[in-house]
């Protein structure tokens, strides 16, 4: 298994955001986390990427224990992510944002970079890779725009490009379709399929059921911080607890 989560819990000052959550995702899959608002999906992402440590339980990624590792160390193991509320480097250009994602793959040390000795060739390579990433998400034409100037939907795509620039084993996408128009959504679905076909595993937090059902190989359903179901899209749609707790209760999508 690529990712194994065992009995994971997180509480914030007595409030239990997550408890006893266990599941696993296999290599090359698109997994999806769904659940109503406040179910603990983003908390789970934050635990997976080391933003804060779990209160209990274990996370294994590629057979390595993630507990106790910092965000920097976890990213080096091959987990990249995007954010529900965007975390772009606003004062930089579009392509620079992606180049920062490549940072972890630079070989030249601090002094080398400072004095630009061996760094030149590497710089060129990184810029080239970054432009390819932008091409992949359809933002090549905006490479030198300030990141702040992009419309919302394209900022989401830029975050994905930046995450992919890290050449991760697994990429976590936090509500990538939120705020996108139908054309953009369509493009996103194709993009995620392409990411999987190139060998990168994906975990998706998404409210848009249509997108999830089309993409996911496996779905984990959370409610009030606990896992209530796990299975293929077909299994999930037939699961009584899911229908009762989630689909039945919250037919309308949040704005």
Partner 1 sequence: MDSSSLVQYILTGLAQGGLYALVGLGFVLIYNVTGIINFVQGEFVMLGAMLAVTYERMGLPLPMVIVLAVLSVALIGAGLEVISIRPARRATPLTLIIITIGLSLAVRGIALLIWGTDPLVIPAFSGTEPIKILGGALMPQQIWIMGATAVSVLALYIFLDLTVMGKAFRACVINKMGASLMGISPRRMSTLAFALGAAIGALGGVVFAPTLASYDMGVALGVKGFVAAVLGGLTSVPGVILSGFIVGIGESFGTAFISSGYKDAISLFILLLVLLVRPQGLFGIYGGKRV
Phi/psi zone of residue 175: left (φ > 0), alpha (ψ -120 to 50 degrees), beta?
Answer: left
> Would you say 82 or 211 has its CB closer to partner 1?
82
Integer Cα distance of 21 and 230 in angstroms: 11
Within 125-154, the residues that bind partner 1 by CB under 8 A are 126
> Would you say 127 or 207 has its CB closer to partner 1?
127
Residue 222 CA from chain centroid, whole number: 17
Minimum distance from residue 132 beta carbon to partner 1 (Å): 16
Q: How many residues bind partner 1 (CB under 8 A)?
A: 37
Residue from 27, 64, 103, 128 in contact with partner 1 (CB under 8 A): 103
CA-wise closest residue to 10 among 61, 38, 41, 44: 44
Q: Is 214 helix (H, G, I), strand (E, B) or coil?
A: helix
Integer Cα distance of 5 and 78 in angstroms: 16
Residue from 19, 29, 42, 75 in contact with partner 1 (CB under 8 A): 75
* Angle at the Cα of 88 from the Cα atoms of 100 and 26, rounded to 5 degrees: 75
Within 160-179, the residues that bind partner 1 by CB under 8 A are 162, 166
List of residues contacting partner 1 (CB under 8 A): 49-51, 70-72, 75-76, 80-81, 83, 87-92, 96-97, 99-104, 106, 108, 110, 113-114, 116, 119, 122-123, 126, 162, 166
């Amino acid at each position: 298994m690529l990712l194994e989560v065992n009995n994971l819990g997180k509480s914030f000052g007595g409030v239990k955001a997550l408890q006893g959550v266990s599941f696993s995702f296999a290599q090359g899959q698109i997994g999806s986390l769904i659940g109503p608002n406040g179910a603990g999906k983003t908390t789970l992402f934050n635990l997976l990427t080391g933003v804060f440590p779990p209160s209990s339980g274990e996370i294994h990624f590629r057979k390595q224990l993630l507990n106790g590792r910092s965000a920097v160390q976890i990213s080096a193991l091959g987990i990249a992510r995007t954010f529900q509320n965007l975390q772009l480097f606003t004062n930089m250009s579009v392509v620079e944002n992606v180049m920062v994602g490549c940072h972890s793959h630079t070989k030249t040390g601090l002094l080398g970079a400072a004095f630009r000795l061996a760094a030149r060739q590497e710089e060129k390579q990184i810029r080239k890779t970054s432009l390819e990433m932008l091409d992949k998400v359809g933002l090549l034409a905006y490479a030198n725009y300030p990141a702040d100037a992009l419309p919302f939907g394209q900022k989401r795509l830029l975050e994905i490009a930046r995450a992919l620039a890290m050449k991760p084993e697994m990429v976590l996408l936090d509500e990538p379709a939120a705020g996108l128009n139908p054309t953009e959504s369509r493009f996103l679905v194709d993009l995620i399929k392409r990411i999987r076909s190139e060998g990168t595993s994906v975990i998706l937090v998404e409210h848009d059921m249509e997108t999830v059902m089309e993409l996911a190989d496996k779905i984990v359903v959370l409610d009030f911080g606990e896992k209530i179901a796990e299975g293929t899209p077909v299994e999930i749609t037939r699961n009584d607890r899911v229908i009762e707790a989630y689909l039945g209760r919250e037919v309308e999508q949040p704005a």
